[in-house]
Structure 1
Amino acid sequence: MLFKKFGVLLVSNQTIIHVPVLLLHRSQLDSTQWDDFIAASPQQILYAYSWYLDTVSPDWKALVLTENGQWQAVMPLPCRQKWGLKVIHQPFFCQLLGIFTHSNVDFREASNLLLSQLTTSFRYVSIYTGCFAAQTVFPNSLKIKKASNIVLPLHLPYTVLFQNYSNDRKTNLKRAQRFGWQSKQSTDIEPIIQLFQRNHSSQIVGGVSEKAYDLLRKLTAVLAQKNTLRLVYATKDGRIEAGALFAIFENRIIYLFNAASPTGRKGNGRTWLIDQIIQEYASTDFVFDFESPELASIASFYQSFGGVEETYTQFTFNDLPFPLKQIQNWRIEKLA
C-alpha cells in the first residue's frame, strides 16, 4: 500500500518546495537506486544499504521525499508483523539508521517531515535509533532518549593512538603480547558462535534465541559476498579462544560481534585482536566503530582504547488500540 502526504521542504539555496512523502515497501524500491542514494548521502552508513536491510529486516519499508520524481530524503524502516499490525523495531546487528538526504537538502527540515509522517503511518515503534540534527523537531508522541556509541578515529600514527590507550589497556595489551597469541582469519562463523553460547549467552537477560544466531550466520555470508567481512580468531596452542567479527565498509570499521573463552579473557585475546586492527588502519581516514551497547562497563572498556563518544537518538512510539497500548506500557515499565 502507498501512502502519500505533502510537506514543505527548504533546500540549501533557501528555495521552498512542496514535496510528497511516500511510504514504500521494499518490493517497490529499486536496489540500485536506493544504494546509489545512500552512498551519495552525507549520512551514509553500512546499515542503510538495501542488501544489509534485506538480511536483517527482509520486510523493511521506507519513507521517501520526492520532488519532480527525484528523491530528496529517505528513512529506512525495519518492519515486522505483530498483533496483526506492521510495527517498527531496530533489528539485531543494525545499530543506527535514521534520515538520509540528498546533499543539497536541509537535513533538519527533511527529518521533521519524515518523522511527522512516521507517526501517521505506524501505530507502534518499539525502538528506532539514528543520528538526527540538533534542531530536529520530534513529534510530541515520540519518547526520545539520547544514547551514545564509542568510536575511535584512526587518522593518527599508531604510536600516538597507543599513547592514548589507558594505562590499564596498555598493561593488558602487553600481557596479551606475552601470552603468545596467533591470529587466524576465517569466514567460518561457527567457532565464535560456539564461544558465545558457552561463555556469554547465560548472561543475557531472557537468553539468546536460535534465530539470532541464524541471522548472524546469514549476515556473515552476505558480508563475505560483499567483501566487507573481517573475521579473526585468536588461537593458543592451536585452539580458538577468542574471536572478533568486523564489517569494514567505506571508511568505517564496525565491531559487530565478539566472544572469548576463559582462556581468551585471561590472555586479553579481544584486546589483542582490536589492537591488531587499529595498527593495520592507523594513519588512515577510517573510524573504528565499537558499536557500544548502553552498558557502562563495556563503554568504559572501549573508551580505554582512546575512544570518544558519538551521540545518537533513540525513540519509541505507542499509539496501539486498547488494551494493547496499556499492556505494552506496563511491560516496558516492568522491564525498566
Structure 2
Amino acid sequence: MIERVKYQDIDFKKYNNCIENSAQKNFYCEKETLDFLSKNWELLVFGDYEAVMPIPFVKKTFFKLVLMPLFCQQLGIFGKSDKVINEKFLKFLKTNYNVINYSFNFHNDFETELVTKKNFYLPVQEYAFLRRKKYFKGRKSTVKTAQYLEFREVFAQKDILEFIRNNFKGLEKESDMDFFIQYLLFLDAKKQLKMFGSYYEENLTNVAVLINNENYFSLLGLLNNEPLKNHNGASFLIDRILDLNIETKAFNFMGGSIRGIEVFFKSFGSDLQEYHVIQNSKKDIIKNWLKFS
C-alpha cells in the first residue's frame, strides 16, 4: 500500500532511517538538501517506511505540479525496492499527480518502459590502471600536454564566486544564477563543497565545483575561462582530481545527455548509468486535466 504523506506529517526519524539503510541513498534525498532545493515537497510511503519516494512540487493557480528542483539530478524510490514495488509507486505518481518532470535514481527499475537519461560514473579503482587502460587515447594526450598548468584547491571567496558567476553556462535567469551561488554557500556551510582551479601564469583558466560526499565526488560544474580554453584546463583538472582521489572516492560526472559532454566524460573511462525519467509539457498537463474534468 502506498500512502501520500504531507511534509508536516512525515516521520523524519523513520524517513532518515529508511534513507540511511537504502542501497539507493544519494545526496539529493537528504532532508536538509531537499529542504534547500525545493520550496515544497511531500512523500510517498510504502508500508511502515519500508520504501519512500520524495515528491517535489510547485503550486500554480489550478495545479500542483511535480517538478524536479533546479540542481537536483535524481530522486526516486529509496529503501525496499523491486520492480513490483517500484511499479506501485509509479502508478500512484501518475494517477495522483500532474508531473512535468521527475527523475528516478539509476537503481530504480520498472515493468513499464520509461524514457532514460544518461549519467557517467567512475567507481573506486587504481588511478594508474584507469589512466593507462581506460582513458581514451586523445584524452591521455590532452592531459599530458597540459601538465604545465598549476593545480590548486580554491574556496568560496569573492573572486572565485565571481569567476563562477561570469563563466557558468546553461542558466537563463539571473535569479537561477543567484540561487546557484546560494547553493554553493549552503554546501560550503555543510562542509560538502570542494573546488579546484587550474592556473596559467597566475591566471585562472578553469574551476571544478564538486559536491563532497563521504564515498564519492559529484561534479556540479566545470567552468572554462573562454579566452584561456586552449590550455585544456578542464582535462587537466579532472585528471588531477582523479589522480588524487579515485583510489578512495568514486567520481560521479553528473549527466552527459549532450553529445560533446558525453564524449568528454566517457573519455576518462567512466561507466554509463542510465536513470528513468517522466517528462510532460505544461500543455500535456492541461490537456489531461481537461480530458478528465
What range is the shorter-chain TM-score in?
Answer: 0.7 to 0.9
Match of 1:217 among 169, 177, 181: 181
Partner residue of 1:162?
Answer: 131
Change beyond 3 A, Cα 1:175–1:63: same
- Secondary structure of 2:104's partner? strand
Q: CA deviation at 1:302?
A: 0.6
Larger radius of gyration: 1
Q: Indicate the SS of the match to 1:92.
A: coil
Counterpart of 1:82 in structure 2 is 60
- 5+ residue gaps, structure 1, are 1-6, 8-20, 327-336
Deviation at 1:154, TM superposition (A): 2.5
Aligned length: 288
Q: Does the 8 A contact of 1:244 with 1:259 survive in 2? A: yes
Amino acid at match of 1:160: F
Instruction: Tell me, yes or no, if the aligned pair for 1:63 and 1:77 is still in contact at 8 Å.
Output: yes
| C-alpha displacement of 1:72 | 1.1
Shift of 1:241: 2.2
Gaps of 5+ in 2: none
- The Cα shift of 1:258 comes to 1.9
Describe the SS at the equivalent of 2:71. coil
Q: Which has the higher strand share?
A: 1
Say whether the 8 Å CA contact 2:14–2:49 is kept in structure 1: no
What is the distance in 2 between the residues matched to 1:315 and 1:49?
22
* Structure 2 CA distance for partners of 1:313 and 1:83, relative to 1, 3 Å: same
Match of 2:238 among 261, 274, 277: 274
How far the C-alpha of 1:306 sits from its partner, in A, is 0.7
The answer to whether the 8 A contact 1:108-1:133 is kept is no
How far apart in 2 are the matches of 1:230 and 1:195?
14
Say which is worse superposed, 239-248 or 296-305, in terms of deviation: 239-248
Alignment of 1:122-201 (within 5 A): 122=97, 124-131=98-105, 136-138=110-112, 144-155=114-125, 157-163=126-132, 164-178=134-148, 180-188=149-157, 191=160, 194-195=163-164, 197=166, 199=167, 201=169
Following superposition, the deviation at residue 325 of structure 1 comes to 6.8
**What is the match of residue 50 of structure 1?**
31
TM-score (norm 1): 0.77
Q: Distance in 2 between matches of 1:192 and 1:95?
A: 22
Relative to the length of structure 2, the TM-score reads 0.88
d(CA) in 2 for partners of 1:189 and 1:72? Answer: 45
Q: Point out the more displaced range, 253-262 or 214-223.
A: 214-223
Q: Tell me the equivalent position of 2:275.
A: 312
CA pair 270-76 structure 1, distance change in 2 beyond 3 A: same
Find runs of 4+ consecutive structure 1 residues off by over 6 angstroms.
Answer: 323-326
